[in-house]
Structure 1
Amino acid sequence: MSRRTTVRRALVVLVVVSCLLAGVASAVPGGRALAVEDTRTGERLLTVPVDEGDTVSLEYTHSVEKTRVLDQYTVRGDELEMTRMEFESYGWGLPSRADVREENGTFVFDPEGSFEEIHVTPGDVAHHRLHVGDRTFDLYDRYGERSVRIALVHRSALEAGIDRLTP
């Protein structure tokens, strides 16, 4: 057998093994991630790994009051459980009859509710920012006024590995 034939066979075996490994990695669960998707096209715009109990927050400026609002969620199973809301003034859409307390000049409310998805349309006034752990993503700067869907998704081990390789 010639050296050339041996090299060809080795390359074929390497390609077949690589394909098998990629297939297995794409079938093996790799955890969850928070995904931001375009609501019109379904295009995935952002994927951030998350674990059970991680905090995800949506921070924005109230369109009428022009004050800061923070909606905080905790990853619970396949849902985002709303665990805290902070706001600096009462305005349309903010809880006026809830059990609100004041902490350091900010109103705080512990709402009930879990969501499979959250829909947001970033705007130049609200200037929505998404906080996932210690990372912040400015939704308006990134996507303009595109309506987005924020939800938890399951990833394969292959997707999780690719996420680790990309910044």
Structure 2
Amino acid sequence: MGAPTDHRIVVESAEGEPLIVSDADGFVLEYTHSVEKTPVIETYERRGESLVMTRMEFSSYGAGLPSTADVNTTENDTFVFQPNDSTEELYVKPGRIAGHEIRFGSETYDLVALSDAETVRIYVTTRPTIFHTSSVWV
């Protein structure tokens, strides 16, 4: 009998070491825009082996934010964008000024501290994987 192959979301260090492994259906990435100094909230769902950004909230336009997208100002003067963009992997460069955090359900993790402000790769795995014991399971 083989090991289970349930889908898991993995947050991996630049060296390839898993930092967080989760069987959650998605996650929320929160940070402060480095130029605008305003909060940005990105919501992702796990769909099969892909990550899908289902929602982005931001309160001002700036570099890297969707300036020409169809957005709605519906919640406390916050722009809400629902792109449904799919990717197999997401690279995030946690910044000390931006203060990147990732939330799986009710658990929030400081990506800056976990990665020492180095790029992380976020992806879905379906194969049985043995993770280093320092990984955080959620």
TM-score normalised by L of structure 1? 0.72
Q: 1 or 2 for the larger relative contact order (CA 8 Å, sep ≥6)?
A: 2
**Structure with a larger share of its residues in helix:** 1
Identical pairs, percent? 46
**Structure with a larger share of its residues in strand:** 2
Deviation at residue 137 of structure 1 after TM alignment = 0.9
Match of 1:99 among 67, 70, 75: 70
**In the aligned structure 2, how far is the partner of 1:61 from the partner of 1:153?**
29
Structure 2 unaligned residues grouped into runs of 5+: none
- Contact kept, 8 Å, 1:123 with 1:144, in 2: the verdict is no
- Contact kept, 8 Å, 1:73 with 1:83, in 2: the verdict is yes
- Contact kept, 8 Å, 2:7 with 2:48, in 1: the verdict is no
2:6 is the counterpart of 1:31: yes
2:33 is the counterpart of 1:62: yes
Match of 2:16 among 42, 48, 59: 42
Q: CA RMSD in A?
A: 2.0
Q: In structure 1, what residue type is equivalent to 2:119?
A: S
2:121 is the counterpart of 1:146: no
TM-score normalised by L of structure 2? 0.85
Structure 1 unaligned residues grouped into runs of 5+: 1-23
Match of 2:109 among 137, 140, 144: 137
Larger Cα Rg: Structure 1 or Structure 2? 1
**In the aligned structure 2, how far is the partner of 1:94 from the partner of 1:45?**
27
